[in-house]
Structures are given as structure tokens and as C-alpha cells.
Amino acid sequence: MNAHLIPLAENAGVPNNPQLPARRYPSALKGQSAAQVRDHLKARDWFGSWTGQIYNFHHYHSHAHEVIVVLRGQAGVILGGAGGPELSVGEGDVLLIPAGVGHCSLHHSADFQIMGAYAAGRSWDICRPEDTDLAWARARIAEVPDWVQEPV
């Protein structure tokens, strides 16, 4: 499946990822249950899955690539930090968020639920732009190995 690439430059205290753009796969896993999505991600080397929502504050992960699959509902998501592009996401949409790429939920429907997971099951952190040193974050992001397979 072809991904829509979303290149993002450093922005508002968010390093983003100088090597890897974010990716969006519209409706890629539509109609699949949470168990089917989890199995699909595991088969492609994305582990540590969880269900919930996207935080409503700008944040990024400095030590892991994350995949987000919309299980149900709809949301508006900003990528790349304050002022970054706003995406409307819905059931079956998949977002691949490389280490360092900011993301934040602006609004969501009452039934909105996602599944998140991490490339190779790497440990993750939550970095907020206002609380994190950019030089430190850039160094950590540079250490993160590429994923083995894209999630879709």
C-alpha cells in the first residue's frame, strides 16, 4: 500500500525527524478488530501494543518509532508540533510516526479509539517540547534504528 509521506522540519521545540517523514495510510486496516490489528502489527515487527487515545498535548517519542491505528471514531490530529499540519483521521487509518515527530489530538469523537505499538517493541518515552532539551532529543533520535517493515 502506498503511504502519503509527510516531511516535517524542526518546529516549536519539536525536533521531528530529519531522516524519516511521517506516513499516513488511509483506510489501510478498516474493518479489522483490535485483535486482528494487534496480530497484523506483531507480524510486521511492531510490538508493545495498547489501546486508548492520542494525548491532547504536543509530544513526541525520542527513542521509538510509533504506529497508530484508528480502531473506531474520528479525530483531528496535528503532526510536527504547534502550527503543524492537521490531519483528519478515521477508522482504519494508520499513522507511522518516526521518533522525534510531534503529535497531538485536537478533538475526537466520543467513540474514538486507537491502537498504538512500537517498532521492534522498543521502550518509549514522552517528551514535551517545553520540557525537553533539543540537543539531547536529537542525539537520542539519531540512535533509533530504522523499522524492519512498515506497519502496512
Per-residue pLDDT tens digits for 90-124: 999 999 999 999 999 999 999 999 999 999 999 99
Q: Assess contact for 137 and 44: CB atoms under 8 A.
A: no
Kindly state which CATH superfamily the domain 14-124 is placed in.
Jelly Rolls (2.60.120.10)
pTM for this predicted structure: 0.96
Based on its alpha-carbon atoms, the radius of gyration of the chain, rounded to whole angstroms, reads 14
Local confidence band at 32 (pLDDT 50, 70, 90 cut-offs)? very high
Q: Assess contact for 48 and 72: CB atoms under 8 A.
A: no
Backbone angles phi, psi at 144, to 5 degrees: -75, 120
CA dist 137 → 3, 16, 119 (Å):
26, 10, 18
How do the domains of the chain map onto residue ranges?
Answer: 14-124
Which residues are 23's β-sheet partners?
A: 5, 96
Local confidence band at 6 (pLDDT 50, 70, 90 cut-offs)? very high
Number of residues that this document lists for the chain: 152
C-alpha to C-alpha distance for 115 and 52, rounded to whole angstroms: 7
